[in-house]
Amino acid sequence: MSKNIIVVGGGIIGLSTAYYLQKEGHQVTVIDKSDFRTGASYVNAGYITPSHIISLASPGIITQGLKWMFDSSSPFYVKPRLDIDFLKWSWAFKKSANAKKVATSIPVIKEINLLSRDLYEEIKASNDFNFQYERKGLMMYYQTDKVGEHEWNLGKMALKEGLHVTHLTTMDAIKKYEPNAKLNVKGAVYFDCDAHMTPGNFMQEMIAYLKYKEVQILANETVIDIAVSNQKITEVITNRGSYKCDEVVMAAGSWSPLLTKKLGIKIPIQAGKGYAIDVERETDITIPSILCEAKVAVTPMKGFTRFAGTMEIDKINHCVNPKRVDAIANAAKKFYSGLEINQAEKDAAASGLRPCSPDGLPYIGKSSKCKNLTIAAGHAMMGWSLGPVTGKLVTEIISNKKPSLDLKPFSPDRKF
């Protein structure tokens, strides 16, 4: 049965959801407060990452975070503040950062990423799009033996999960994969399971496709209220109008908790700001990589190389901190000999807000407090990777079909 569905949020999660909903014959409207050209879905590394089997809330991250707390240029920075939602999230994050919870989440994260990668490839094979999608894997470059040992331990965990991982311990071995880049590293752990894309390229193609399929795309509209009757949303009210609906999908990223609060639903999410610098000249970089000591991601995209990184837990804002941009540029120079990111490139750096849950798993599913609301938020650094699979799962929920994956680990009502 066709339903009238409003998707709040026009990032990768919202658009992917609209894509699968319209394929099921539903009438879909996507509402976003932006112009569909900015935000985390445009400012990210473009990775599809089955390799990333360890959640953000991992053992040791609290200790490391405390060390970095007073360094505003550190890769992971938490800005302390007296805010009840932040304090509750921090406590839930601390409880989640233990070995048992991480071990339990590893197969869950792996399976959802692998399915999403398959769906990206299915979308690409449909011939409805012409976006960049390359399956070249991911290099985890390291400069110290200590970090190399840590990365290879993670690699061995991935091997046990059935992923293909290679430890490259010499420059000759690395150059077989990346022959021309002037690398300054001791070694690399290589995952061949990952893929990469150019996010803005995909987003604009998806918007054009959805418009062609008569999905309503409403830009620069802010949801200001939600009308509810008998635990059901009847209307979504924006600064420009009101829209009746049968179902609502909350895919508003870091803004999602502000809207679900109106329904008495509290989903712990904090905004994790990341930055991206684009270099539109030849870098000789052909394989996506992470510069491990600096936690900087490097992606060869369509027409440029992107250097992205940092996780800055703070209030919702898009302010660009020059110290953090400099840290990314300095990391590039340190790992790639002769690569100098110039001031103009740094001045053009952009930021995006990743919606972070306390346990590193997204919220996908319905809350018991509202019958016709499906939540799809909290994907943290896996937002781009998990776009299609989230859209498919949400569509299966709304269409009363058996979900492709067990949704229990992603429940919006789960306790921390």
Which CATH number fits the domain that encloses residue 369? 3.50.50.60
Q: How far apart are CA 203 and CA 258, in angstroms?
A: 25
pLDDT of residue 65: 62
For 187, the domain range is 4-410
Q: pLDDT band at residue 63, thresholds of 50, 70 and 90?
A: low
Joined together, the tokens standing for residue 76 give 């992971």
366 domain-assigned: yes
Q: What is the pLDDT of residues 138-181, one digit of tens each?
A: 999 999 999 999 999 999 999 999 999 999 999 999 999 999 99
Confidence check: pLDDT of 1 > 70:
yes
pLDDT of residue 297: 97
120 domain-assigned: yes
Q: pLDDT band at residue 61, thresholds of 50, 70 and 90?
A: low
Confidence check: pLDDT of 370 > 90:
yes
Q: How far apart are CA 416 and CA 411, in angstroms?
A: 11
Q: How many distinct structural domains can be found in the chain?
A: 1
Question: What 8-state DSSP symbol labels residue 307?
Answer: E
pLDDT of residue 66: 59
Q: What is the pLDDT of residues 394-409, one digit of tens each?
A: 999 999 999 999 999 9
Confidence check: pLDDT of 211 > 90:
yes
415 domain-assigned: no
Q: Are 155 and 167 in contact (CB under 8 A)?
A: yes
Whole-structure pTM value: 0.95
Q: Are 263 and 226 in contact (CB under 8 A)?
A: yes
As a whole number, mean pLDDT of residues 7-22 equals 98
Q: How far apart are CA 407 and CA 118, in angstroms?
A: 18
Query: Angle of helix 387-398 relative to helix 12-23, nearest 10 degrees?
Result: 40
Confidence check: pLDDT of 58 > 90:
no
Joined together, the tokens standing for residue 33 give 């407060």
Q: How far apart are CA 409 and CA 186, in angstroms?
A: 38
Question: What 8-state DSSP symbol labels residue 360?
Answer: S
Q: How many residues does the chain have?
A: 416
